[in-house]
Amino acid sequence: MTTALITGATAGIGAAFARRLAGDGHNLVLVARDTERLRVQATELHDRHGIEAEVLTADLSDDKGIAAVEARLGDRRQSVDLLVNNAGFGNKGRYLEVPMADELAMLKVHCEAVLRLTSAATAGMKERGRGGVVNVASVAAFVPRGTYGASKAWVVQFTQGAAKDLSGSGVRLMALCPGFVRTEFHERAGMGTDSIPGWMWLDADKLVATALMDLARGRTVSVPDARYKALMGLVKVTPRGLLGGVTSRTGRRYGPQ
C-alpha cells in the first residue's frame, strides 16, 4: 500500500485529494493547523475506505511546523510515495494594502514550505527510484497579480526546474494550476465572489481527477479544464501591459486566485 501526504488536507482542493486518494486505497498523512478537523476527517476516511489516515498538525507559516512535516517526509521507515503541497491562502487587497506580515506568511507557506517539503520528500523518492509530487499553484502564476501571483509563478518555475533535474530518476513533479474553484479560499480571505461568472468555477473533485491523470501522463504543468486552457492561450498572446491592467483591476477582491 502506498502513502500520500497532503498539506491543507481539511478543506477545498486538499480535501478533494484526500477523498480521491483514500478511495484509490492509499494511506494518508493529513496536514493542516486545525487538529480537531483533521481527526474528524481521518476517522471518516478510515471508516469509509479502510485506509490508515495519520494526523499531523502543523502551521506551515512557521519554521517549527515546516520542520515537523519535513521530519515525517524524511522518515525512511514509513516512506511517503506522493506529496501534495496544497496548503495556501489569499490576502485581500492590492500591493501596499496588505500588511507585510501577511505577505511574508504567504511566501513562507507558498514558497519556503513547498521548497523544503519537496526536497525532504524527493530525496527519499530518488533513492527508491519512484514517487510523485504535486505542487498546487494557480493560473494566477501566468498573470501579473501581486504577491499571490508571484508566489504561484515561483511554484511553477521551481517545479518545472526540479522535474527536469530529476528526470530519469523515477520521481515525477507537477505544478497544478487551477482557475476558480469552489472552496473556503475566498471566504477565508474575505473576498467577495458575486462578480465571478458561473462558468468560471471548477469543481474540486473533477480538478483532482484531471490532476492525477496529468501526473500519470508525466506532465510537469497541469491546467485543468478546456475553459482555462483557452484563457491561458489568450494570456500568452496578450501584451503584458494590457494584461497587468485587467488582472490588477480584477485581482485581490474578485479576480482568479
Ligand X SMILES: NC(=O)c1ccc[n+]([C@@H]2O[C@H](COP(=O)([O-])OP(=O)(O)OC[C@H]3O[C@@H](n4cnc5c(N)ncnc54)[C@H](OP(=O)(O)O)[C@@H]3O)[C@@H](O)[C@H]2O)c1
Sole residue written with cell 526540479 = 162
Q: Which of 3, 4, 5, 13 binds ligand X (CB under 6 A)?
A: 13
Q: Which of 4, 5, 10, 156 binds ligand X (CB under 6 A)?
A: 10
User: Closest approach of Cβ 76 to ligand X, in Å?
Assistant: 24
Contact 118, 173 (CB under 8 A): yes
| Closer by beta carbon to ligand X, 159 or else 257 | 257
| Catalytic residue of the set 95, 148, 228, 254 | 148
Sole residue written with cell 493529513 = 30
For 57, left (φ over 0), alpha (ψ -120 to 50), or beta? beta
DSSP 198: G
Q: Is 33 in the site for ligand X (CB under 6 A)?
A: yes
Contacts from 230-236 at CB under 8 Å and sequence distance 24+? 231/139, 231/179, 232/139, 232/142, 232/177, 235/142, 235/143, 236/142
148 is catalytic: yes
Q: What's the full length of the chain, in residues?
A: 257
Q: Is 136 in the site for ligand X (CB under 6 A)?
A: yes
Site string for ligand X, 55-74 (x = CB under 6 A): ---xxxx-------------
Q: In angstroms, what CA-CA distances link 52 with 4, 5, 18, 23, 44?
A: 11, 12, 12, 12, 11
- Which residues are CB-contacts of 172 (< 8 A; sequence separation ≥ 6)? 131, 132, 133, 163, 215, 218
Q: Is 254 in the site for ligand X (CB under 6 A)?
A: no
User: Closest approach of Cβ 105 to ligand X, in Å?
Assistant: 7
User: Closest approach of Cβ 65 to ligand X, in Å?
Assistant: 6
User: Closest approach of Cβ 6 to ligand X, in Å?
Assistant: 9
Q: Is 141 in the site for ligand X (CB under 6 A)?
A: no
Q: Is 251 in the site for ligand X (CB under 6 A)?
A: no
Q: Is 41 in the site for ligand X (CB under 6 A)?
A: no
* Interface segment toward ligand X; rule CB under 6 A; list 47-55, 87-95, 156-164, 224-232: 87-95
Q: Which of 21, 22, 29, 32 binds ligand X (CB under 6 A)?
A: 32
| Closer by beta carbon to ligand X, 178 or else 251 | 178
CA 100, distance to chain mean position in Å, is 23
Residue 155's CB is within 10 A of a number of other CB atoms, namely: 24
Q: Which residues make up the interface to ligand X (CB under 6 A)?
A: 7-14, 32-34, 37, 58-61, 86-89, 109, 136, 138, 178, 180-181, 183-185, 188, 257
List active site positions.
148
